[in-house]
Amino acid sequence: PAPQRGAVPGTDFTAVAPNTEDRVVTAEGYQHQVVIRWGDPVLPGAPEFDPANQTAEAQEQQFGYNNDFAELVPLDSAGRRNLLVVNHEYTTESHMFPGYDEDDPTEEQVRTAWAAHGLSVVEVERVRGGGLRVRPSRYNRRITATTPFELRGPAAGSDHLKTSADPTGTRVLGTLGNCAGSLTPWGTVLSGEENVDQYFAGADAVTDPVAQERLARYGFSGSSSTRKWERFDRRWDLAREPNEANRFGWVVEIDPHDPSSTPVKHTALGRFKHEGAAVQVAEDGRVVAYSGDDERFDYLYKFVSRGTVKRGQSAHARRHNMTLLDDGTLYVAKFTGNSPDSEIDGTGRLPSDGAFDGTGEWIPLASGDESFVPGFTAEEVYVFTRLAADAVGATKMDRPEDIQPNPVNGRIYCALTNNSDRGASGSAGPDEANPRVGNKHGHVLEIDDDATGTTFRWGLLLVCGDPDDPGTFFAGFDKSRVSPISCPDNVAFDRHGNLWISTDGNALGSNDGLFAVPVAGPERGFVKQFLTVPTGAETCGPVVRDDLVTVCVQHPGELDGASADHPASHWPDGGASLPRPSVVAVWREDGGEIGRR
Ligand code: FEO
Ligand code: CA
Ligand code: CA
Ligand code: CA
């Protein structure tokens, strides 16, 4: 079908057609530029990237690998100077190191990988009529898998969090698996520690049945780890340090305004595969943080603070506000559909009331030191949150990824990326909130929440896939006009309240991309693709400003059989180069507003 354009401010552009090109393709009339790539200097005096001679010392000063979440934290009211804060989710050693031997990594490669994890803070300035330029700056910072973090909140100091290196259970080295995130209203960044199980060896050697059950529920398995880190630091070996794994899987908070600040892990938000976390301030000033657990059949959570927010961007206000996520109530979501079960047939066809929708309940798990889950202490609720949520009958979802409040309509939007096991034998069948068996393409959930209350209304905005597939839904909009979309992952909003969605793992056979969709008015559901990313890459971390869009291009060239010796992508440097995860800025050729004629 011909690319379509709409008329809603913010989404008024001509859609990019699906493609499989090894480059970034933007909507017509837009230009783009790579802002920063894996290996580019971050700290003053950092060496230039030298792929044949990578060292941990160099990587500690350079931009990390596999950028996922990104945010632009304004340093001035004009939005000219910003701090670009970026997560580096994981490393793909076979794509990073030419000649890499996965059975026998060198210590230098392992230490380089530690340094390639974590986050980067980089000052960037707007270029007149263009994108962003990286500046040398006192704010520039690398946080890695060895940077000290403070564990805070009700589980800090718990026996479950003590190790031989940290008998206090309050100080952890590093952050891992940092996937999505958000900017808080007080100018800090939240980041979710997601797939932390992959870093640990020795689960097989644990014999205590309670410990075994907990490890299994969090995906820890096997004897050695993929990356063999346990050979160079005992803390990655569960047989020797059984509690080290409990110190990962949290929401972390970083103050990018203070490069000497110690980042925090907030235990009050529970421990699971946090995709990210995002905060909304309720009318009474309490803060509500939403977070998804990105695993098949896992849950959606929210946290409501006890304290209230101090307004303003002073360091004093920030210090106070950074304590809000340490004391409050943690809830998990239960969804109830309003259509009869017989009408949820697993195909994605709408029930007779014309909507996948219903009501929901937030089930409290713990508040401060008080547990609401029989058989669990409060510390157990926070550290083994998945098991506590299992016990209260929360709704098993199709991999909850990013969840964010829409600043214009106040509703909460969550990407459920896919779940090929939905309806498989021995697994949960379809329900109204997860209506497709073998859900390959995912869906997008819209929640009307009573922010500090315990009830909500919900509906599916999108049931993704090829619009020709009768089991897809685009909020009732004319499906002959929309872009195909598959595997939604991150969500963001422009100033008009339009929803922007980035995808990871497009199961329709073309490259991933960034999409915009109005959520109000006659074009509600009119999904249009704004850009596509190179071969094998995922699109993530979208930021949408009036005249600038940034996205992270994660794992370009990550295809079966590809390696640093035979890359499947040469983006962005071309020639015979290694692919490099990078942040991309997009702007309108004529300098005008994004998506507005
Ligand atoms: Fe790292 Fe849930 O995507
Ligand atoms: Ca219904
Ligand atoms: Ca993600
Ligand atoms: Ca994902």
Q: What is the DSSP string of 184-235?
A: -TTS-EEEEE--GGGG-B-GGG---HHHHHHHHHTT--SSS-SS-GGGT-GG
The rounded Å distance from CA 417 to ligand 4 centre is: 7
Which pLDDT score, from 0 to 100, does residue 4 have? 66
Question: What is this model's ipTM?
Answer: 0.97
* C-alpha span between 54 and 371 (Å, rounded): 48
Q: Residue 336 CA: which ligand is closest?
A: 2
Instruction: Kindly report the protein residue whose alpha carbon is nearest to atom 1 of ligand 1.
Output: 179
CA pseudo-torsion sign 426, 430, 431, 434: positive
Q: Which atom of ligand 1 is nearest to the CA of 417?
A: 2
Q: Which atom of ligand 1 is nearest to the CA of 402?
A: 2
pTM over 0.90: yes
- Tens of pLDDT along the chain (597 residues) come to 455 667 899 999 999 999 999 999 999 999 999 999 999 999 999 999 999 999 999 999 999 999 999 999 999 998 899 999 999 999 999 999 999 999 999 999 999 999 999 999 999 999 988 999 999 999 999 999 999 999 999 999 999 999 999 999 999 999 999 999 999 999 999 999 999 999 999 999 999 999 999 999 999 999 999 999 999 999 999 999 999 999 999 999 999 999 999 999 999 999 999 999 999 999 999 999 999 999 999 999 999 999 999 998 899 999 999 999 999 999 999 999 999 999 999 999 999 999 999 999 999 999 999 999 999 999 999 999 999 999 999 999 999 999 999 999 999 999 999 999 999 999 999 999 999 999 999 999 999 999 999 999 999 999 999 999 999 999 999 999 999 999 999 999 999 999 999 999 999 999 999 999 999 999 999 999 999 999 999 999 999 999 999 999 999 999 999 999 999 999 999 999 999 999 999 999 999 999 998
User: In 3-state terms, what secondary structure has residue 287?
Assistant: strand
The rounded Å distance from CA 122 to ligand 4 centre is: 24
Ligand 1 pocket at CB < 6 A: 89, 179, 194, 275, 294, 401, 489
Q: What is the DSSP string of 37-104?
A: ETT-B-STTPPPP-GGG--HHHHTTB--SSEEEEEEEESSTTS-EEEEEEEE----HHHHSTT--TTS
Q: Which atom of ligand 1 is nearest to the CA of 399?
A: 2
